């Protein structure tokens, strides 16, 4: 299921990028003298399933949205909100593990214009997650019946920092059809440094929504995304 979805997304991405590059090659010269138009406030909703460290594992469901406020010519204040459900099969032996919750990120991005409609962003984020865990486990016993049980934890929290590198392209034309300035495609590279989280001696917290595995204190992540942008003003 995930491999089929991954194949379709990669194929869709390749076709879209090839068409966008063709559109750029015919229109960049005419746009070089235009003044770049930037919305001071915009709301974006991004769809992202491709993360390299879980690329072939069907263990993550994640949705994200964000608000982008330009406070200087090339500096933006970023607010992001996400929700995720993590169910890694390897968390505990003979168990079903689920970590589910919400997370927020706030920070700044600095924008570089590579060519018209193509941008590079460097940014920093402070992130916080509120989540719950559910562990259904089975303890094997060679003499008596196996012992089964369930452990649920609520109101857990975690904080971390992120360095973010973003490459983004506005999609203004598909198959010679002009589009409004609401659609972008791109990738993000995040390097996340875990600061603090609720943990326990028995059955340690294994995954944090928005961050990932707790045994990695410096966690890299690569995302491909499609973003719908709603200009406010």
Segment 155-175, tens digit of pLDDT: 999 999 999 999 999 888 887
Domain that holds residue 180: 64-231
Strand duo 177-178 + 60-70: pairing: unpaired
Identify the CATH number of the domain in which residue 100 sits.
2.40.160
| 203 conformational bin, left if phi > 0, alpha if psi -120 to 50, beta if neither | left
Segment 171-222, tens digit of pLDDT: 888 878 888 888 888 989 999 999 999 988 777 888 899 998 898 889 998 8
Distances, alpha carbon 107 to alpha carbons 162, 188, 231, in Å: 9, 15, 20
**Which of the listed ranges 65-69, 100-104, 224-228 does the model predict with the highest average pLDDT?**
100-104
**Residue among 149, 150, 105, 128 nearest 208 (CA):** 128
Residue 173 is assigned to a structural domain of this protein: yes
Q: Is 197 helix (H, G, I), strand (E, B) or coil?
A: strand
pLDDT band, very low/low/confident/very high, at 3 (cuts 50, 70, 90): very low
Residue 225 is assigned to a structural domain of this protein: yes
Distances, alpha carbon 89 to alpha carbons 1, 17, 200, 208, in Å: 16, 34, 20, 15
Predicted local distance difference test score (pLDDT) of residue 39: 62
CB 212 within 8 Å of CB 82: no
Between 141 and 151, residue with greater pLDDT: 151
Residue 159 is assigned to a structural domain of this protein: yes
Rounded Cα–Cα distance for residues 107 and 162 (Å): 9
Residue 84 is assigned to a structural domain of this protein: yes
CB 81 within 8 Å of CB 66: yes
Segment 6-54, tens digit of pLDDT: 444 444 544 454 454 444 444 444 443 344 555 667 777 776 655 544 4
Q: What is the mean pLDDT of the chain?
A: 78
Torsion angle defined by CA atoms of residues 208, 55, 47 and 189, in that order, rounded to the nearest 10 degrees: 70
Residue 26 is assigned to a structural domain of this protein: no
Residue 32 is assigned to a structural domain of this protein: no
Residue 76 is assigned to a structural domain of this protein: yes
Residue 155 is assigned to a structural domain of this protein: yes
Give mean pLDDT, residues 108-118.
92
Predicted local distance difference test score (pLDDT) of residue 79: 92
Predicted local distance difference test score (pLDDT) of residue 38: 59
Residues 6+ apart with CB under 8 A from 198: 156, 157, 158, 205
Number of domains composing the chain: 1
Predicted local distance difference test score (pLDDT) of residue 26: 43
Is residue 89 predicted with pLDDT exceeding 70? Answer: yes
């Amino acid at each position: 299921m995930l491999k089929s979805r991954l194949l379709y997304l990669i194929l869709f991405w390749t076709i879209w990028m090839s068409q966008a590059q063709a559109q750029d090659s015919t229109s960049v010269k005419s746009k070089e003298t235009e003044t770049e138009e930037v919305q001071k406030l915009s709301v974006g909703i991004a769809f992202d399933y491709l993360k390299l460290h879980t690329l072939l594992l069907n263990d993550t469901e994640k949705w994200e949205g964000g608000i982008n406020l330009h406070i200087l010519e090339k500096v933006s204040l970023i607010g992001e909100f996400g929700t995720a459900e993590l169910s890694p099969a390897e968390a505990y032996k003979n168990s079903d593990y689920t970590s589910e919750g919400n997370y927020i990120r706030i920070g700044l991005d600095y924008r570089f214009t590579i060519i018209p409609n193509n941008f590079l962003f460097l940014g920093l984020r402070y992130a916080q997650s509120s989540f719950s865990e559910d562990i259904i486990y089975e303890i094997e016993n060679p003499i008596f019946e196996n012992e089964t049980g369930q452990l649920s934890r609520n109101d857990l929290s975690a904080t971390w920092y992120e360095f973010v590198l973003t490459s983004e392209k506005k999609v203004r034309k598909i198959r010679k059809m002009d589009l409004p300035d609401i659609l972008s495609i791109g990738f993000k590279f995040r390097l996340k440094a875990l600061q603090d989280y609720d943990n326990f001696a028995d059955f340690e917290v294994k995954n944090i929504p928005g961050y990932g595995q707790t045994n990695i204190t410096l966690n890299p992540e690569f995302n491909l995304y499609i973003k719908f942008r709603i200009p406010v003003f």
